[in-house]
Amino acid sequence: MNETIVTLRSATKTFEGGLVTALDDVSLEIERGSFVSITGPSGSGKTTLLNIVGAMDVPDSGEVLIDGSPVESSADLDAIRAEKIGFIFQMHNLIPVLTARQNVEIPMLPRPLSSGERRERALGLLDEVKLRDRADSSVRGLSGGERQRVAIARALANSPPLLLADEPTGNLDSNTGLEIMEMLHEQRRRTSAALILVTHNEVLCEGADQHIRMQDGRIA
């Protein structure tokens, strides 16, 4: 098995018809199972970098390999994302009218699982994040920390080798934020996924195997 889960070679991404260079000739390698933190001022390219590493977007030029497969065009993105990536956003992005369990089941829908199998797997994942007793609660009725735990369970639905988190604790009080990070690390260890964390909070970067500091679209 390849020990590198993500490779970027000279990735460049511009917006506004080339006026804004969000990512400027960035190369990096991320080891399977590692914890990578990304910090840097607002506008330095952190989200753009995460989007490219997470198959949400492709660079204008340069090479991206995820789990050994080249990401060559936007046509490749959906399949790679479904199989390889779990994303946790600042604003959890859950579907509010669905229950916790239904939200966790969504990434599994394209897979050949029976509804019973999906249900059992979702309940197991909710158990991992200590929310099994809230499985049938509407997401609307959950606290911010509980919603983020559902988002973690959802991200793990297809056992991805790569977990990406963009300011996952940005909307939480600091104690709840630490709890969420503890849970993310626990699941990272359990599933051997790599975790790439974008944050403004240096405390959350402690223990990172690799620390990436972005500045003007480059790794500082």
What's the rounded Cα separation, in Å, for the pair 126 and 152? 9
- Return the one option of ligand ADP, Mg ion, none that residue 22 interacts with (CB less than 5 to 8 A, by type): ligand ADP
30 three-class SS: strand
Residue closer to ligand ADP (CB basis): 44 or 99: 44
Of the ranges 15-23, 78-86, 152-160, 199-207, which one interacts with ligand ADP (CB under 6 A)? 15-23
Applying CB under 6 A, the site for ligand ADP has a residue count of 12
165, 168, 170, 174: CA torsion to nearest 10: -130
Backbone torsions φ then ψ of 37, nearest 5 degrees:
-110, 145
Per-residue binding letters, 19-58, with ligand ADP (x by CB under 6 A): -x-x-----------------x-xxxxxxx----------
What's the rounded Cα separation, in Å, for the pair 173 and 220? 29
To Mg ion, the closest distance from the beta carbon of 152 in angstroms equals 20
141, 145, 150, 154: CA torsion to nearest 10: 140
For position 84 contacting ligand ADP by CB under 6 A, the verdict is no
Helix axes 174-191 and 144-155, enclosed angle (nearest 10): 20
To Mg ion, the closest distance from the beta carbon of 8 in angstroms equals 17
To ligand ADP, the closest distance from the beta carbon of 8 in angstroms equals 14
**Footprint of ligand ADP (CB under 6 A):** 15-16, 20, 22, 40, 42-48
